[in-house]
Amino acid sequence: MPLPVVSDVPAALRFLSRLPVRLPSEPQADGPPDLDRLGPALPLAGALLGLIAASVLVVAQGIGLGDFLAATLAVTVLVAISGALHEDGLSDVADALGGMSVERRLEIMKDSRVGAFGVCALILAFALRIGALAGLLALGPLPAAAGLVAAVSVSRLAGLWMLAALPFARADGLARSAGVPGVESRRLALGLGLFVATALIVPLIGLTGLIGGAVFGVVIFLGVVRLARAQFGGQTGDVAGAATLLVEIGFLIGLQIFAR
């Protein structure tokens, strides 16, 4: 693994979460993220975030809290440490779909208030993620933990690839300041994400589970790309966040369906 990728993990963790991780050699204040540089570190940072949530999952299930409550606590921890970053994107995108024009949808997306569409999207997203994770616990705590770590890792590729899949919907959006990751950055990130997922899923759940999760994730990602192109004329940071969360959910569901 290239050393610069490892050294970029703390910055990737700060970008994806609220964790105050900073190397002594790093500046005390972060500027706009350079996703071309940070891109390959995103799946590794995602795996670490998933590992924290998976530890809660295993402990909660081990002390007898039951599958549903263990899954709920794991998702709660993941949302807390990530600062609800991707949940915010999903709710904004869902609310924006109620607009009657591209301009109105982009205006709604910038509004910090959450409407009925956003609330419903969040409720369904939590229910699907918790339900899929609780279902994976039927395979055992370690397979479920591996599935969660892999899902969080590979889903962080979705936002990265979304930036390259569509043009920016706004001339002044925050996503524009992060830049468009280059082909090499995206390919290395994809390779690292697949390596993490393969190493975790194949021994504990099986190759068919990995393929099922990957297929569901890719289909959902392509669906979000098509939706964003049609409804917003491109991508935004909220679209990238929504894609990340939806791919995570799709990966978990596909993993559960096709687990051996």
How large a percentage of the chain has pLDDT more than 90? Answer: 63
As a whole number of angstroms, the distance between CA 221 and CA 148 comes to 18
pTM for the model stands at 0.91
Per-residue pLDDT at 168: 86
More confident residue, 59 or 30: 59
- Please, are residues 117 and 95 in contact by the beta-carbon 8 Å criterion? yes
Q: What is the mean pLDDT of the chain?
A: 89
| Count of C-beta atoms within a 10 Å radius of residue 258 | 19
- 131, with CB counted inside 10 A (0-12, 13-18, 19+), is middle
User: Quick one: which H or E segment has residue 213?
Assistant: helix 207-232
Alpha-carbon separation of residue 145 from 30, 76, 136, 253 (angstroms): 32, 15, 9, 14
- Give the range among 49-53, 97-101, 244-248 with minimum mean pLDDT: 97-101
pLDDT at residue 165 in the model? 87
Q: Which residue has the higher pLDDT, 27 or 108?
A: 108
Taking alpha carbons only, the member of 209, 183, 180, 186 closest to residue 197 is 209
Mean of pLDDT values over 140-144? 94
Q: What is the pLDDT of residue 179?
A: 67
Q: Which is more confidently placed, 182 or 223?
A: 223
Instruction: Name the token pair of 61.
Output: 């299930």
Lowest mean pLDDT, pick from 23-32, 73-82, 173-182: 23-32
**Given this model, what pLDDT does residue 173 score?**
58
Q: Could you tell me the sign of the dihedral formed by the alpha carbons of 155, 161, 163, 167, in that order?
A: negative
Instruction: Using the predicted structure, report yes or no on whether residue 61 has a pLDDT greater than 90.
Output: yes
